[in-house]
Structure 1
Amino acid sequence: MQHRALLSAILMTAALAAWAKQPVATGHGGAVATISDQASRAAMEILDAGGNAVDAAVAAAATLGVTDPFSCGVGGGGFMMIYSAKDKRVITIDHRETAPAYFSPTVFQKNGKEIEWDDAVPTGLSVGVPGTVRGWNEALTRYGTMSFAQVLKPGIRVAEQGFKVEPNFNRINTLNEAKFGRFESTSSLYLKEGKALPVGTLFRNPDLANTYREIGKGGVKGFYEGALAQSIVKAVNTPPTKAGVTVLTGQMTLNDLKDYEARLRQPIRSSYRGYELYGMPMPSSGGIAIAEALNILENFDLKSMPRTQAEHLYLEASRLAFADRNAYVADGEYIDVPRVGLLSKEYARERARQIDLKTAHGKATQGDPYPFQNDLSVPLRPQPALAAEPAHTTHLTVTDREGNIVAYTFTIEDWGGSGIVVPGRGFLLNNEMTDFEFSGPHPNVPEAGKRPRSSMSPTLAFKNGKPAFSIGSPGGSTIITTVMQTIVNHVDLGMSLGEALAAPRMSQRNGDKTEVESLLKFVGSPQAQALEAYGHTWSETDEIGAANGLRFNDDGTVTAVSEPLRHGGGSAIVQKQ
């Protein structure tokens, strides 16, 4: 029961936090969980005005673009999963950024050698065609009830009135001082004399408010065509650098923006211990990797095992799934991914046989899913690769009184994206193109129009045909392990969704060591020491992810769950009757 006492203490600490954000809330009606209190309140404002979950999700997302600008915004892209209660079906909207038309497999090479990842990020070369506004438009037009102008009002208000810089905003801004210091437009917005804005500073972004107004007035064309589109192209191709600073430039065109399309895709469907799970399809690798790892774990009775052994198996299943994910998964429009084989329960049984119940065996090689394909696809058998994938994104989730649900993960990639604020527009551009492998052969090499592989994993779970829970997180490739571990904690280890989300995270992505959090003081804990007896070793990072979820309870209530500590703590609100 030691872990329950720790989680209770964490949740209590969060409840007493200075800005009174509430990480867990239960009640009837609509509900929202985000990492920002302003964003959660924006969603609730729309729900109270008669909007549905899709309307509220876009309102929350636009507000996050103001309050959490280093993680997300209209200069990026994402994946939205929608459950339509009326139709009883799940829809996914892929609005991942695409490579501009000038891209080729060698775009990140110079003289035959790969450019250093850190050198590629703060440049125009790293910027993909933004998909966020097109994705919002698809969601509102097809499944919402309100206009752009209506749902952007809360974000406009927050951008104009401003908010006081909190410690987490300052922390991330401080990490970006060198990158932001390269660009005039970014420095003027986020820095003061070259340093991050101090805690307590009133931060306002009137340029972003005006950008939202333009989108509200002109709709999706107001972003992808005309003056706003010209501003984006100019910022990519001639970045607004300070005197004496030189960066790589892009070759984006107005046609790249005008031709951008969001995709409606069939979700990844799988099952786990009586739950039906819906995950994000390619170019996300999340749905496939989570399903494969859980399929592997289904071969073991985790509930009958000591907790330490169950966690050992979780880590080993994640290792195997990542070996396959790294080798095979990319944009399905450009490569034949062995999707059926990777999702096969029979293939999972074969992979499970490689797990030792008592010992960690180190890095795994990819398996061979092709015999389980049941088709005539020609196998591509590349060596696994894992390029750097920043851990900086955001996730939100909303439901309404009618039972519609949105689980939405969107991003600009690295903290602060490319570091380029579009002059006069108030938003940062993504560095999503650095999610490609910089050389091949590999399924995830750059190509014109291609979407780089992602780990974003908005997930919905159903039981007996009814919604059971939603979960999603930021965190680069740790998104996959965060979602998976939360599911294992909740379904197998018997934690409430709030406890499962707050628990210390362990991210094994087929590396020599498992990544853990210094924030929750995992290393040296009894939990860590018990796992070390199985051969597990650790590398520390400050924190992993900033997840949000919903739990649909048997009594008809809904519980919204956000972070108690990570990313400064999140905000969960349930609509009042």
Structure 2
Amino acid sequence: MRGYRLPHHRRVEEDLAPSRGTDMSGSALRRGRLLALLVMALTLVVALAVGASPAGAHGKGDGDGDKDDHGAVHPPDKQSVATGYGGAVTTLDPYATAAGLEVLEKGGNAVDAAIAASAMLGVTRPYDGSIGGGGFFLIYDAEEDEVASIDARETAPLATPPTVFLENGQPIPYDERRVSGLSQGVPGLVAGWELALEEYGTMPLHKLLQPARVVAERGFVVDAEYVDRTEDNLEIFRDFTSSTETFLVDGAAPEEGSIFRNPDLARTYKLISREGPDAFYEGEIAEAIVDTVQEPPVAEGATRNVRPGLMELEDLDDYEAKWREPTEVDYRDHTVFGMGPPSSGGTTVGEALNILEGYELSELPEHDVLHLLVEAEALAFADRGKYLGDPDFVDVPVEGLLSQEFADERRELILEPFAATEKPVPAGTPEGAPDDGVVLASAAASGSTMHLTTTDRWGNVVALTFTIEEIGGSGIAVDGYGFLLNNELTDFATDPGLANSPDGGKRPRSSISPTIVLDPDGEPFAAYGSPGGATIITTVLQVTVNLIDLDMALPDAIAAPRLNNLNSENTNFEASLPVAAQEALKAYGHNLPAPTEDPIGNVNGIEFLDDDGLLGAAEPTRFGGGSALVLEPWAD
């Protein structure tokens, strides 16, 4: 079983990090600072001579970005699959993929590329994730042959009481919780960038933010997904002066194919570039965030009941991204690493895989594999609902949940011969479970998020998933700074006394599931993740089974029809699920209502091939498809 270490906060400043060599054989994330400084100096000279090049201008392949007569940056052609060598980037958006690849071209590593890509997504996909929210990093260090993880999850302000979402003993309606200051957690993404760079980065933050800053300033081409997401939030955006001014054009969504600019976000990135993360957590940006939370900029004439929040400047100043132990399970001779609490992704995926370990899925017909997926998901989600929360506030029995003995016990509830169990199923009692009478909490399927995956020439890997929760977050932009604040605190249960109840300084439970899989020899096999609320977990689980049990290539594993069960009487499925499989599942007793209106998940990732080959893959069609690029493409 592959090991992992728990790196120390600010190890570089403590001079505890090993020296970073530059040979191609495995100097990995800890590369020489001298090389990075030389690259920076050369880049600065070129930038001063000809002007900073926008992201997309150096994308590999036939789809290089360019600029129009007004300076707007056009994206490279979107391709969902790319194969080659030397490094790869996959994201939901071609601008972001190109930004990450540009960093790899300039000598940066996988962490550097991930930060550049995530900053760009905050420009071109601002309703899914940005500096107004948080996320989780899963990092494979090729030199140390270890996996580490960073928790950059949002926190509740210290003044938050357990009853924050109750009025007169009743839950505040969800829409009113979401669009309010009460839902806005202290953002963590910028602190996550800082922590990752301190430990592993080779390029300074200001260089990594430059591609995104240029595109925010010069503009990008609006696609159909951007229009749809804006229109989904029109009523909310119109109720806030800051959101209207930032994201609407004459009070409406921008037109597809038009050029959209966000000069306020460009200025925000410039501030962070010049002053570092302190500008976000202590300086004028922090002040603007607190002002927005405490006094939401409601438009004149708006009738929405918008409750102010409880965030103070001290909450931002005290925020810390944290190193956490990744989860780890063995599955069919592979090692699967995921994100531990406060995310429920790694434990729930891991428990479900341990349950499925008892079946030879590769020898079963498709409908039986899908049946067992549904049953394992329901069992694992029952345990997720009862036990998962912020480990700094509740005792989460991670070791017990991920033990094979517990999975064997849970598997006994799956009926033989195959038939659907009655759902919801009750939670089990893993070793180490708290004896405090905590009751089950439901799993919400909704939510928006972004995932990206990077790797470099040294074999390092990053799987980063980040979010502002709902599509559009709280719907409230920070006035003059160009980004939306999250509504992550709605991930808390509304009632006190649960593992995932609100509390001051607490992080709400997440479903985010960045995943890195090592092969039987301990080398990277694949890395991937997805957005989608609680369905992130089931999507990642199904892709894992497709890869390992069904021997699919990553593009096929991503494209395959999906279904899921979150421990509910209904099993959700996509319309592309074959009718024969639907009928077989119904015959087993599963309740399959109408297909989901939206696709389930939006996966991207990287598969590691023989002879150092790389296969980058993203969704081919779901939500308009994703984007994959490699540093050195294979010849056609």
- TM-score, normalised via structure 2 length: 0.85
Q: Where does residue 257 of structure 1 map in the other structure? A: 316
Q: CA deviation at 1:387?
A: 5.1
Question: Relative to structure 1, is the Cα distance of residues 378 and 35 closer, same or farther in structure 2, using a 3 angstrom cutoff?
Answer: closer
Q: Where does residue 305 of structure 1 map in the other structure? A: 364
Q: Where does residue 525 of structure 1 map in the other structure? A: 579
When the two structures are aligned, how many residues end up with a matched partner? 553
Q: CA deviation at 1:200?
A: 1.8
The answer to whether structure 1 residue 66 and structure 2 residue 94 are counterparts is no
CA deviations 1:469-518 (Å, max 9, x no partner) are 11100000000000000011111122111101111111211111112234
Matches for 1:392-407 after TM superposition, within 5 Å: 392-407=448-463
* Contact map agreement 2:397 2:434 (CA 8 A) in 1: no
- Counterpart AA for 1:272: Y
Secondary structure of the corresponding residue to residue 139 of structure 1 = helix
Q: Where does residue 6 of structure 1 map in the other structure? A: none
| In structure 1, distance between residues paired with 2:367 and 2:425 | 25
- Counterpart AA for 1:538: P
Question: Relative to structure 1, is the Cα distance of residues 60 and 81 closer, same or farther in structure 2, using a 3 angstrom cutoff?
Answer: same
| In structure 1, distance between residues paired with 2:445 and 2:238 | 23
Q: 403, 426, 429: which one pairs with 1:366?
A: 426
* Contact map agreement 1:327 1:381 (CA 8 A) in 2: no
| In structure 2, distance between residues paired with 1:362 and 1:61 | 42
More moved, 123-132 vs 187-196: 187-196
Q: Where does residue 7 of structure 1 map in the other structure? A: none
Q: CA deviation at 1:158?
A: 1.1
The answer to whether structure 1 residue 461 and structure 2 residue 521 are counterparts is no
| In structure 2, distance between residues paired with 1:70 and 1:119 | 18
Q: 532, 537, 559: which one pairs with 2:615?
A: 559
| In structure 2, distance between residues paired with 1:500 and 1:380 | 41
Q: Where does residue 533 of structure 2 map in the other structure? A: 476
| In structure 2, distance between residues paired with 1:363 and 1:158 | 49
Secondary structure of the corresponding residue to residue 427 of structure 1 = coil
- Counterpart AA for 2:459: G
Q: Where does residue 436 of structure 1 map in the other structure? A: 492
| In structure 2, distance between residues paired with 1:24 and 1:530 | 32
Q: Where does residue 505 of structure 2 map in the other structure? A: 449
Q: Where does residue 354 of structure 2 map in the other structure? A: 295
| In structure 2, distance between residues paired with 1:379 and 1:337 | 11
- Counterpart AA for 2:124: T
| In structure 1, distance between residues paired with 2:311 and 2:362 | 53
Q: 276, 281, 286: which one pairs with 2:335?
A: 276
Q: CA deviation at 1:228?
A: 1.0
The answer to whether structure 1 residue 416 and structure 2 residue 475 are counterparts is no
* Contact map agreement 2:148 2:326 (CA 8 A) in 1: yes
| In structure 1, distance between residues paired with 2:257 and 2:263 | 19
Q: CA deviation at 1:531?
A: 2.2
Q: Where does residue 158 of structure 2 map in the other structure? A: 101
| In structure 2, distance between residues paired with 1:461 and 1:387 | 26
| In structure 1, distance between residues paired with 2:109 and 2:205 | 14
Q: Where does residue 188 of structure 2 map in the other structure? A: 131
* Contact map agreement 1:42 1:56 (CA 8 A) in 2: yes
Gaps of 5+ in 2: 1-74
| In structure 2, distance between residues paired with 1:327 and 1:82 | 28
Q: CA deviation at 1:451?
A: 0.2
CA deviations 1:325-358 (Å, max 9, x no partner) are 0111111110011222111101111111111242
* Contact map agreement 2:76 2:95 (CA 8 A) in 1: no
Question: Relative to structure 1, is the Cα distance of residues 258 and 46 closer, same or farther in structure 2, using a 3 angstrom cutoff?
Answer: same
Q: Where does residue 317 of structure 1 map in the other structure? A: 376
Question: Relative to structure 1, is the Cα distance of residues 51 and 202 closer, same or farther in structure 2, using a 3 angstrom cutoff?
Answer: same
| In structure 2, distance between residues paired with 1:195 and 1:211 | 24
| In structure 1, distance between residues paired with 2:139 and 2:76 | 31
CA deviations 1:185-241 (Å, max 9, x no partner) are 111222234432221221110110110010000001011012111000001110111
- Counterpart AA for 1:399: T
Q: CA deviation at 1:129?
A: 0.3
Matches for 1:478-493 after TM superposition, within 5 Å: 478-493=535-550
Secondary structure of the corresponding residue to residue 86 of structure 2 = coil
| Structural RMSD (CA) | 1.5
Secondary structure of the corresponding residue to residue 410 of structure 2 = helix
Q: CA deviation at 1:104?
A: 1.1
More moved, 25-34 vs 389-398: 389-398
Matches for 1:187-226 after TM superposition, within 5 Å: 187-226=244-283
| In structure 2, distance between residues paired with 1:575 and 1:378 | 49
| In structure 2, distance between residues paired with 1:125 and 1:368 | 33
Q: CA deviation at 1:19?
A: 7.3
Q: CA deviation at 1:43?
A: 0.4
| In structure 2, distance between residues paired with 1:388 and 1:120 | 15
Q: Where does residue 148 of structure 1 map in the other structure? A: 205
| In structure 1, distance between residues paired with 2:400 and 2:272 | 43
Secondary structure of the corresponding residue to residue 547 of structure 2 = helix
* Contact map agreement 1:391 1:478 (CA 8 A) in 2: no
Matches for 1:80-119 after TM superposition, within 5 Å: 80-119=137-176
- Counterpart AA for 1:112: G
Q: CA deviation at 1:576?
A: 1.8
- Counterpart AA for 1:325: R
More moved, 30-39 vs 193-202: 193-202
Q: Where does residue 589 of structure 2 map in the other structure? A: 535
| In structure 1, distance between residues paired with 2:310 and 2:397 | 33
CA deviations 1:4-24 (Å, max 9, x no partner) are xxxxxxxxxxxxxx9731111
- TM-score, normalised via structure 1 length: 0.94
* Contact map agreement 2:378 2:425 (CA 8 A) in 1: no
| In structure 2, distance between residues paired with 1:380 and 1:558 | 48
Q: Which runs of 4+ in 1 moved over 4 A?
A: none
- Counterpart AA for 1:321: A
Q: Where does residue 53 of structure 2 map in the other structure? A: none
Q: Where does residue 385 of structure 2 map in the other structure? A: 326
Q: CA deviation at 1:255?
A: 0.5
| In structure 1, distance between residues paired with 2:499 and 2:381 | 15
Gaps of 5+ in 1: 1-17
CA deviations 1:276-317 (Å, max 9, x no partner) are 111101000000000000000001111111111111101110
Q: CA deviation at 1:465?
A: 1.2
CA deviations 1:248-287 (Å, max 9, x no partner) are 1012111000000010011111111110111101000000
- Counterpart AA for 2:142: A
* Contact map agreement 1:387 1:435 (CA 8 A) in 2: no
More moved, 132-141 vs 352-361: 352-361
- Counterpart AA for 2:476: I
More moved, 509-518 vs 167-176: 509-518
Matches for 1:371-390 after TM superposition, within 5 Å: 372-373=431-432, 378-386=434-442, 388=444, 390=446
Q: Where does residue 267 of structure 1 map in the other structure? A: 326
Q: Where does residue 336 of structure 1 map in the other structure? A: 395
Identity of aligned residues (%): 48
| In structure 2, distance between residues paired with 1:368 and 1:479 | 22
- Counterpart AA for 1:87: E
Q: CA deviation at 1:79?
A: 0.1
Q: Where does residue 4 of structure 1 map in the other structure? A: none
Q: CA deviation at 1:76?
A: 0.2
| In structure 1, distance between residues paired with 2:187 and 2:320 | 10
* Contact map agreement 2:133 2:467 (CA 8 A) in 1: yes
- Counterpart AA for 1:292: E
> Which is bigger in relative contact order (C-alpha 8 A, separation at least 6)?
1
CA deviations 1:83-108 (Å, max 9, x no partner) are 11111111101000000011011000
